[in-house]
Amino acid sequence: MTNKSALLLIFISIYISVSVYAQKTLQQPFDDCQTDGSITIYNYNTGKWIVSDSTDSHVASLPASTFKILNTLIILETEIIKDENEIIKWPGSTDTTKYGYRPDIYHDMSLKEAFHLSAGWVYRELAKEVGKERYRDYLKRCNYGNGDVSTPDPDFWNYGNFEISPVNQIEILKGVYEETLPFSKRSIQILKQMMIEEKTPIYTLRAKTGWTKDGGKDTGWWVGYIEKKDNVYFFATRLVKERTITNPNFNKCRKSITKEILRSLKIL
């Protein structure tokens, strides 16, 4: 064996070892939370991707409430409401105690509050006014998911065949950050302000959670981006489990897994 061949083998061995080690390191928080899933990260300055599962990062599934990111832009752009502070009237019964799932969200509220509380009923009511045809048009123009809004339910982002992959989620988030999506600067600026979860002297974190229980599975998301003085990092974390499996930490793990990995990469 020549010296060059030996060096090449050593290089390949080190490369494979580092890749496997990195992937195992990224996977460990999912194992600790006892759930399946993946994280996909994009470094804006370098254009490099960091993934815990390269296959899963391209697998599409229902976006759940992460669709509120694009949905907010569509609702504002179509002027269904005048701004994020307009109050949407709760159409149901005033006796919210009969609603077993989060009865605290069933009252009149603004779009801004609905985004932060992830109050699905607000977006469902407004989706009826937007209409499926306008949704199809915007989804196509934004290259968002598979564009399948065929389910009769207005809540097509939680039920049916509408799907988006983690990589595609990040492409949309980049469009928000760069303001290159086909929406007015006003609409995008309103959304960006609504998306802020954390703001420190070092970084600003903009994000949205999502959780759907369709198809006998729990699918939980946390997607967003972190702006620092010298760079921007985009992330899309998705957890999946069978609904028959009990995991009381599933909800919290969407954020805890993401933050643990971002801290390990010195992003947070």
Backbone conformation region of residue 238, classed left if phi is above 0, alpha if psi is from -120 to 50, else beta:
beta
Task: Let me know if 65 is a catalytic residue.
Answer: yes
Contact yes or no for 225/218 (Cβ under 8 A): no
Q: Structure tokens of 262?
A: 């971002």
Contact yes or no for 31/49 (Cβ under 8 A): no
Q: How many CA atoms lie within 13 A of 35 on its CB side?
A: 30
Provide DSSP, 86-112: PEEPP-S-S-GGG--S-GGG-S-EEHH
- Residue bearing tokens 């994009």: 42
Q: Return the H-helix or E-strand segment holding 168.
A: helix 166-178
**Closest C-alpha among 120, 97, 93 to residue 109:** 120
From 65, 118, 165, 187, active-site residue: 65
Q: In what order do the strands lie in the sheet with 48-51?
A: 48-51, 36-43, 232-242, 217-228, 203-212, 196-199
The Cα 125–Cα 123 span in angstroms is 5
> Residue 234, class by beta-carbon neighbours within 10 Å (0-12 exposed, 13-18 middle, 19+ buried)?
buried
Contact yes or no for 108/87 (Cβ under 8 A): yes
- Residue bearing tokens 């469902």: 124
Relative to beta strand 217-228, strand 232-242 is: antiparallel
Q: What positions carry a catalytic annotation?
A: 65
